[in-house]
Amino acid sequence: MSHPAAPSAARTARLALVVGALGVVFGDIGTSPIYTIQTVFNPGDPYPVRLTTGNLYGVVSLIVWSVVLIVTVTYVLLAMRADNHGEGGIMALLTLLRRHASRRRSRVIAVLSGLGVLGAALFLGDSMITPAISVLSAVEGLKTINAGLSSWIVPITAVIIVVLFLVQRLGTSAVGRLFGPVMILWFTAIGVCGIWGITGDPRILLALSPTYAVGFLVGHFQVAFFALAAVVLAVTGAEALYADMGHFGRRPISVAWLFFVFPACALNYLGQGALILHGRANVSAPFFLLVPQWGRIPLVVLATVATVIASQAVISGAFSVAAQAGQLGYLPRLRVLHTSSSAHGQIYVPWINWLLLVSVLTLVFAFRSSAALAFAFGMAVTGTITITTILFFYLAHLTWRTPAWLLWSGATVLLAIDLLFVAANLTKLVHGAWLPLAIALSAFTVMTTWSRGRELIGARRARVEGSLLDFVNGLGTNPDLLARVPGTAIFLNRGGETAPLALRANVEHNHVRHEQVVIVSVEIDTLPRVAAAQRFLFDSLGDPGDGITHITVRFGYTEKPDIPAVLRSLTTEQSEGRLDLDGATYFLSKLEIREGDEPGMARWRKRLYLAASHINTDASDHFALPRGQVIVMGSQIEL
């Protein structure tokens, strides 16, 4: 008996994912046509590209083929195949590399891990610049309607950005359902506008030939080199495709890009080129001038909505990167809210959301135009793309069976292109490109300082805690001095080697222990999710009848570590109800870290670590512990 409803439901689900991906993933790269070509020929550029017919063909061809090589080849066809159980982005590549660290040259892995952290830091800088430049560029379309509206551009942009960040708490899926249909309209509109422009001068279709791009680079290298700093704006959002893969999956993103987004963008770039060929005065705002006067108000409104969606792509990616960095020990423990019961990668990180809001508004009021921000934009993008390419090809070398000559040939070509873009953007260093580098350097410093500080604190804490096995064995030496009280005590601990500070304090100072003592260690895996069968690792300490057990609970780095929930599953399936979770007491060991003279880290980095520790999420909230059953016992450690 056939069930036609099942395939139909599956197709509907896949279509919903494609629409959702359109609403979240492609906003950034899909709105690049608004400002890319006009930025290349911007007379205010410190190294302006002169508008000639030959230069125009070369620029349009460079844009189209840069998108093909960087977005389609590097990301869609290659990098998105290197997923960590569905999760993508720089941090996913970093976790895959760390998984191979024990089997390969650790020095190479360490250098590449540092590059991965820098790439994540650059992406966070991109997440601040993208909403500012995208929304500003769309609202600037008001000038093509009425020049007197220029004074309203910055205030309107600020209001739109505030609303955008306020709706983030609704979750990626809700935002995607809302924005997906709008982006379908957007890509249809820019594709139709592009076709309309092409009909005005079909000669522009010659720019589809890569010979124009190569000829422009070889024959007019100095001009083409400086043009690359603006051409890179066409590929902004490529990293968001990869970072947002955990939200929707590789296939929906690939299908949407290859069959809808890329054709629409390419047609629009060609249409703008044809419009400028028809009349060189159109170079001032070729995107908006593709439509007649009566259609500009609707296009400005649609473009504004689309750029809000463009911001969504990098905001969602920033949530994923920050959450993964926190789980991997590169950032403090942040509060992460999962906004979907079916898609584990759909999350909302309040602290990152408000940090981005303040940063984006600061950029809007400081730069006040998309042209001024364009000089800063490319540096973050090219840096992230280059690092992604390096990490991907090294990982492919470790894990794929592709012939080495083929792999390194591809790596050489793609890295040469990436590095050419980086070099071109370095020429804008004093004109704004310093900004994403400063943001990235700040984020990189925080992330590496936090990672190093955790190592030092962990080592010093281990010395204070002492051996867990020795501590448990010593409990029976003076039974008359230690009272056993009824009930279950659950002690959260960093691992199974050392004794929890709270347990040690309870025994040594209060002279009591509970009949049932469970020491729970949480281990964050480099996998996004851990199967239920591999969730627990049991270690009975001392005499099995003594009532002291150590349990290691494994979570994937995208999972919420809900300790009561997993222990409840343990009691029903494996421990035959021995644990009374309803009446259990959870003990937390709270460390007060003070700046000291211990070696291992510079004093300014110690102060930075202590400052960052203040944003650490409360352990009770992080592990979903019931507030009324938690006791916190503190200790001091010097850093």
Asked whether residue 154 carries a pLDDT value surpassing 50, the answer given is yes
In terms of pLDDT, which residue wins out, 203 or 463? 203
The 3-state secondary structure of 235-285 reads HCCHHHHHHCHHHHCHHHHHHHHHHHHHHHHHHHHHHHHHHHHHCHHHHHC
Residues 402 and 196 sit within 8 Å (Cβ to Cβ): no
Q: Collapsing DSSP states into helix, strand and coil, what is residue 540?
A: strand
Helix (H) or strand (E) holding 549: strand 548-555
pLDDT tens digits for 306-336?
A: 877 777 767 877 887 888 788 778 888 888 7
CA–CA dist 625, 627 (Å, integer) = 6
Q: How far is CA 381 from the centre of its chain?
A: 13
pLDDT recorded at residue 506 = 83
Mean pLDDT of the residues in the chain: 82
pLDDT tens digits for 372-428?
A: 777 777 888 888 899 999 999 988 888 888 888 888 999 999 999 999 999 998 888
CA–CA dist 253, 187 (Å, integer) = 15
CA–CA dist 635, 160 (Å, integer) = 47
CA–CA dist 24, 248 (Å, integer) = 9
CA–CA dist 123, 115 (Å, integer) = 12
pLDDT recorded at residue 576 = 42
CA–CA dist 304, 540 (Å, integer) = 61
Residues 227 and 38 sit within 8 Å (Cβ to Cβ): no
What is the homologous superfamily of the domain 15-432 according to CATH?
Amino acid/polyamine transporter I (1.20.1740.10)
pLDDT tens digits for 80-89?
A: 888 777 777 7
pLDDT recorded at residue 324 = 77
Greatest mean pLDDT range, 133-142, 206-215, 372-381: 206-215
Give the start-to-end residue ranges of the domains of the chain.
15-432, 462-638
User: Would you give the DSSP letter of residue 368?
Assistant: -
Mode of pairing for the β-strands spanning 585-594 and 548-555: unpaired
Q: Collapsing DSSP states into helix, strand and coil, what is residue 586?
A: strand
pLDDT tens digits for 491-515?
A: 988 777 888 888 888 888 888 888 8
Token pair 């009425």: residue: 146
Asked whether residue 575 carries a pLDDT value surpassing 60, the answer given is no
CB atoms within 10 A of CB 604: 10
150: left (phi over 0), alpha (psi -120 to 50) or beta: alpha
pLDDT tens digits for 250-292?
A: 888 888 899 999 999 999 999 999 999 888 888 888 998 898 8
pLDDT tens digits for 53-101?
A: 999 999 999 999 999 999 999 999 998 888 777 777 787 888 888 776 5
The proportion of the chain whose per-residue pLDDT surpasses 70, expressed as a percent, equals 89
pTM tops 0.85, yes or no: no
CA–CA dist 29, 14 (Å, integer) = 22
CB atoms within 10 A of CB 354: 12
- Bridge partners (DSSP) of residue 538 are 551
Asked whether residue 577 carries a pLDDT value surpassing 50, the answer given is no
Q: Cβ neighbours of residue 497 under 8 Å, at least 6 residues apart?
A: 462, 467, 468
pLDDT tens digits for 224-244?
A: 998 998 899 899 878 778 877
Tokens of residue 301, six digits = 């409104």
The proportion of the chain whose per-residue pLDDT surpasses 90, expressed as a percent, equals 19
